[in-house]
């Protein structure tokens, strides 16, 4: 293929100048290949300039993929009625003969998958415009970061990524011929009423050997915003090869005595309080979702891969989420997706303050209360998975270190899940290995009636990352264990549980108590409070919590509450260990022996406590 001639033929003179300013033959070959295969009518090359960014925003409005709302800067996007979530069935890894990604991933033979992809992509952009966009995962000019190229015919995808990621055009120019970059090709395919028509041909294929993600015939952000969880899969694979970690973690600054800021990362499955923790008032947020962690001179340093949030908007309200509420109700660039839009041009979502509007437009078209779908099911005003996309800079508690190319030093790691009867509200592990195995690799979370129709089913979810792994679980656990071996000062590892209940099913924590647990963890990192040793870890002393509840929440904390919350639930903990041993023996080939050793040791400590007490 004569790349120069193809670019001269298919690009304007201005766009030809933009693309050829990048001295990277592999990048240029990739772009040229998919221009030829997808066959768009026109091509736009987007640099980091304000002019080009504004052009993408305007294109999203021009094409109808976004519509302007009454609040300045706010827009709304609707996905197709049957295109409202990640397509797990059709999200597959391309596997070469002889490759091994473990038994837990959805795989397809690479040659078969590529043949299918190329057939679907052939001429798929005819009648469309292709947008060539460049981004950087992590701060620019940082050894943490990975440049990315996104090809898409959806300006909504381009606009979303501009809010979520740092521009990467100049990074590609600076790096020259480097072949260490991620590649994403997306097409929404043929459109009908402005949404993807051929959903039966929706495919999201991931190639960790070539660092490419293919996505087609879909508009929903989780399938199309390539740099989000799709890039996370590429990142986990690359990190495993290079000896660092890609984690499904927030990064936040917890503010301690004398203006001290201590940085924590935290991993929680969905609906377990991750975003609510990351965005707590009076603390500062570096990132809410994905982190790269590296060993720098024996300490863990981390960067936020993103600079924005693509979050579930359901139940965001002024009482529980004051920081996020403030941003979502102020002027500034925000994309709302699959919410209800009132006649006046404002948004409403499930759980928002105020009454449900009497009418509006949502993902199903014109909507009124009581509207039903073809199967007779009532359609909610907004989709349960409705989203918002916003830059972190619109939040009043964004941390000043968010763009530090060296990252921030991590001194604590938090794992949290939905657990009604086993884990105490906050607990510290004995050491790195104990924490990674019993709290990270042992993380479980219970389903809710709202999500799966049956409440209380425990789902094993190591490091809250199971859905996004691109390597075998055993290797992922081993990577985490090995990472800690080389640290001079490993971060303290904690577990939290905001969902503990009493025998009558009443929650033992209030939603605000997490503020206290974080302050205690911050003090523990600096050894400024002592702890009580139990068979499962280290828990707070009552007097310390009593003081913190008064200082942080201005309320009393009784000894009765302490005893209820921090009682050692021996049977439940023993049952949990039995479940974990069974899972790792039956479902996780090549589990490191240390996993079983640590779990057995914890079991023995619990047995001794049971016999003694």
Distances (CA, A) of 30 to 150, 186, 216, 231, 264: 11, 13, 17, 17, 38
DSSP state of 490: P
Q: Label the pairing between strands 195-196 and 191-192.
A: antiparallel
The average pLDDT across 106-121 equals 95
pLDDT over 70 for what percent of the chain?
99
Question: 390-434: per-residue pLDDT in tens?
Answer: 999 999 999 999 999 999 999 999 999 999 999 999 999 999 999
Provide the pLDDT for residue 86: 86
Lowest mean pLDDT among 59-73, 75-89, 428-442, 552-566: 75-89
Q: What is the model's pLDDT at position 613? A: 75
Q: What pLDDT score was predicted for residue 568?
A: 96
User: pTM of the entire structure?
Assistant: 0.95
Can you give the pLDDT at residue 447? 80
Q: Which of 85, 48, 22 is nearest to 165 (CA)?
A: 48
Collapsed DSSP state (helix, strand, coil) of residue 350: coil
Contact criterion met (CB below 8 Å) for 240 and 256: no
- What is the predicted pLDDT for the residue at 62? 96
pLDDT at 98: 78
pLDDT mean over 494-519: 95
Using the structure block, give the residue that is written with the tokens 């609510």. Answer: 276
- Nearest-5° Cα angle at 141, 139 to 142: 65
Q: Where are the beta strands (DSSP E) in 324-403?
A: 334-337, 340-341, 347-348, 360-362, 365-367, 387-391
**What integer is the mean pLDDT of 52-80?**
97
Bridge-based pairing state of the strands 91-95 and 203-207 = parallel
Is 310-394 a domain of CATH 4.10.95.10? no
> Would you say 321 and 288 are in contact if contact means Cβ atoms under 8 Å apart?
no
For 528-562, what is each residue's pLDDT tens digit? 999 999 999 999 999 999 999 999 999 999 999 99
- Give the pLDDT band of residue 102 (cuts 50, 70, 90): confident
- 138: pLDDT strictly greater than 50: yes
SS3 196: strand
Q: Which residues are registered as beta bridge partners of 68?
A: 75
How far is residue 579's CA from residue 587's CA, in Å, rounded to a whole number? 11
- Cβ atoms of residues 415 and 438 within 8 Å: no
| Residue ranges in 39-183 assigned as alpha helix (H) | 50-62, 110-121, 155-164, 169-175
Across the range 61-84, mean pLDDT stands at: 95
Domain ranges of the chain: 3-64+90-242, 245-306+402-612, 310-394
pLDDT category at 479 given cuts 50, 70, 90 is very high
Please check the confidence at residue 442 and state whether its pLDDT lies above 60.
yes
Task: State residue 454's pLDDT score.
Answer: 61
Equal fold, 3-64+90-242 vs 310-394: no
**Average pLDDT for 489-494:** 97
Question: What is the spatial distance between Cα 217 and Cα 221, in angstroms, rounded to a whole number?
Answer: 12
CA distance 309 to 334: 10
Does domain 3-64+90-242 fall under CATH 2.130.10.10? My reply is: no
How many CA within 13 A on the CB side of residue 35? Answer: 25
The pair of three-digit structure tokens given for residue 168, joined into one six-digit string: 């990467």
Rounded percentage of the chain residues whose pLDDT exceeds 90:
92
User: Looking at 38, 136, 148, 272, which residue is catalytic?
Assistant: 272
Region 206-231: mean pLDDT is: 95
What pLDDT, on a 0 to 100 scale, did the predictor assign at position 451?
Answer: 45
Work out the average pLDDT over 253-281.
95
CATH architecture type of domain 245-306+402-612: Alpha-Beta Complex (3.90)
Binned at pLDDT 50, 70 and 90, residue 448 comes out as low
Q: How far apart are CA 213 and CA 207, in angstroms?
A: 6
Query: Taking 80 as the threshold, does the pLDDT of residue 122 lie above it?
Result: yes
Say what the pLDDT of residue 452 is.
41
Active site residue 38: no
Please provide the DSSP assignment of 588-611 as one string.
-TT--HHHHHHHHHHHHHHHHHHH
- Predicted pLDDT at 270: 86
Instruction: Please state, rounded to an integer, the average pLDDT across all residues of the chain.
Output: 95
């Amino acid at each position: 293929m004569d790349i120069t001639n193809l670019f001269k033929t298919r690009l304007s003179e201005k766009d030809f100048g933009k693309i050829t300013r990048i001295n990277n033959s592999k990048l240029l070959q990739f772009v040229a290949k998919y221009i030829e295969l997808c066959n768009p009518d026109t091509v736009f090359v987007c640099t980091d300039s304000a002019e080009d960014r504004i052009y993408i925003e305007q294109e999203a409005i021009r094409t109808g993929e976004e519509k302007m709302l009454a609040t300045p800067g706010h827009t709304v996007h609707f996905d197709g009625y049957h295109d409202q979530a990640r397509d797990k069935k059709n999200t597959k890894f391309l596997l070469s003969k002889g490759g091994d990604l473990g038994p837990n991933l959805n795989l397809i033979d690479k040659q078969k998958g590529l043949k299918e992809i190329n057939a679907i992509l052939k001429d798929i952009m005819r009648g469309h415009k292709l947008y060539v966009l460049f981004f950087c995962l992590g701060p620019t000019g940082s050894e943490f970061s990975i440049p990315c190229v996104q090809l898409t015919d959806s300006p909504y995808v381009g606009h979303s990524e501009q809010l979520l990621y740092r521009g990467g055009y100049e990074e590609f120019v600076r790096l020259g011929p480097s072949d260490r970059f991620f590649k994403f090709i997306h097409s929404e395919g043929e459109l009908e009423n402005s949404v993807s028509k051929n959903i039966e041909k929706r495919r999201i294929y991931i190639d960790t050997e070539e660092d490419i993600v293919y996505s087609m015939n879909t508009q929903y952000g989780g399938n199309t915003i390539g740099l989000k969880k799709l890039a996370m899969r590429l990142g986990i694979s690359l990190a495993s090869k290079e000896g660092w970690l890609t984690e499904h973690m927030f990064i936040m600054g917890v503010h301690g005595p004398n203006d001290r800021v201590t940085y924590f990362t935290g991993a929680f499955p969905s609906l377990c309080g991750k975003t609510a923790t990351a965005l707590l008032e009076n603390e500062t947020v570096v990132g809410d979702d994905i982190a790269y962690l590296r060993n720098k001179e024996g300490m863990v340093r981390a960067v936020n891969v993103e600079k924005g949030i693509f979050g579930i908007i359901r139940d965001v309200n002024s009482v529980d989420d004051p920081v996020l509420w403030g941003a979502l109700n102020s002027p500034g660039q925000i994309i709302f997706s699959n919410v209800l839009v009132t006649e006046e041009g404002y948004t409403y979502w499930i759980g928002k303050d105020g009454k449900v509007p009497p009418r509006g437009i949502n993902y199903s078209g014109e909507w009124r209360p009581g509207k039903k779908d073809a199967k007779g099911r009532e359609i909610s005003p907004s989709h349960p998975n409705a989203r918002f996309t916003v830059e972190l800079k619109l939040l009043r508690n964004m941390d000043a270190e968010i763009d530090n190319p060296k990252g921030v030093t991590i001194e604590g790691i938090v794992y949290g899940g939905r657990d009604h009867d086993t884990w105490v509200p906050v607990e510290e592990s004995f050491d790195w290995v104990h924490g990674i195995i019993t709290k990270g690799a042992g993380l479980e979370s219970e389903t809710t009636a709202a999500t799966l129709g049956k409440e209380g089913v425990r789902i094993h979810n190591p490091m809250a990352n199971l859905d996004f792994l691109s390597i075998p679980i055993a290797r992922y656990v081993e990577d985490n264990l090995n990472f800690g071996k080389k640290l001079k000062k490993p971060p303290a590892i904690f577990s939290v549980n905001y969902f503990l209940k009493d025998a009558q099913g009443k929650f033992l924590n209030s939603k605000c108590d997490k503020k206290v647990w974080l302050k205690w963890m911050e003090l523990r990192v600096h050894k400024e409070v002592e702890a009580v040793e139990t068979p499962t870890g280290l828990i707070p002393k009552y007097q310390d919590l009593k003081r913190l509840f008064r200082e942080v929440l201005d309320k009393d904390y009784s000894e009765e509450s302490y005893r209820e919350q921090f009682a050692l639930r021996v049977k439940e903990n023993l049952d949990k260990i039995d479940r974990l041993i069974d899972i790792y023996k039956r479902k996780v080939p090549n589990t490191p022996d240390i996993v079983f050793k640590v779990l057995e040791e914890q079991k023995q400590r619990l047995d001794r406590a049971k016999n003694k007490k």
